[in-house]
Structure 1
């Protein structure tokens, strides 16, 4: 399973639980740990990092890009690549915070050409 934002508060807790249950996890982060062989560099702004993160993955825990009030322009290329790469299940971290005139995380689930 690929966990984006795997070094953040939510992602790190999820990784710990998954590993405790024996689930193989790849941690995707802008600053991956050099001592974790399952950590990989991932950056929403660098599509060149997406393919390696997705390679061999069929499940993804997705923390949408936080640097934008509209995450879809950054997330959509990743979502399309995930679909082409054989990802069958995607879990999206959402938020109860809704900014005026800004799409929420659910916009990612409604993206064109995605099965989720």
Structure 2
């Protein structure tokens, strides 16, 4: 149900071309479409498929939707080689900062 609403909303944006949805995903067919973004329900797609898609389609943005909590999870297929411990520490701090900023935004009271 959540994906139908997202599909309808994105379909109104002239910058977005919505291909459609399917109850099951054929990885080869999806790869042949060369999407920029793939949106899916978190509990409907096995992680192995997500990893395979991120390898097959460089730069693909994978967005998992949890309809029960109304949250979106962004999967990153970026790879890094030759990271120093300092580089890894910086990545962790950036991720923690992003998470903290997101939590603060969600905890702020709304004005009425």
TM-score class, shorter-chain normalisation, is 0.3 to 0.5
Structure holding more helix per residue: 2
- More relative contact order in 1 or in 2 (CA 8 Å, sep 6+)? 1
TM-score for the superposition, normalised by structure 1: 0.45
**Larger Rg belongs to:** 2
TM-score of the superposition, structure 2-length normalised? 0.46
